[in-house]
Structure 1
Amino acid sequence: MRAHTGDRVVTHGRTVGDPDRVARIVEVLGPDGAPPYRVRDEDGHETVVAPGPDTTLRHRSGET
Structure 2
Amino acid sequence: MQAQAGDWLLVKSAAVGSGDELGLILETRGPGGTPPFQVRWLRDDREGLVFPGPDAVVLTAREKAAADERQRRRLERVQGEIRARLVRVSSR
**TM-score scaled to structure 2, two decimals?**
0.64
Q: Unaligned stretches of 5+ in structure 2?
A: 66-92
Structure with a larger share of its residues in strand? 1
Sequence identity, in percent?
37
More helix as a share of residues:
2
In the alignment, the residues of structure 2 paired with residue 61 and residue 12 of structure 1 have an alpha-carbon distance, to the nearest angstrom, of 19
Q: Which has the higher contact order (CA 8 A, sep 6+)?
A: 1
Counterparts of 2:30 and 2:9 in 1: how far apart (Å)?
A: 15
Name stretches of at least 5 consecutive residues in structure 1 with no aligned partner: none
**What is the 5 A alignment of 1:1-64?**
1-42=1-42, 43-62=44-63, 63=65
Work out the number of aligned pairs and report it: 63
Q: Which runs of 4+ in 1 moved over 2 A?
A: none
Structure with higher Rg: it is 2
Letter in 2 for 1:36: P
| Structure 1 residues 14-41: Cα deviation after superposition (integer angstroms, max 9, x where no partner) | 1111100000000110010100000001
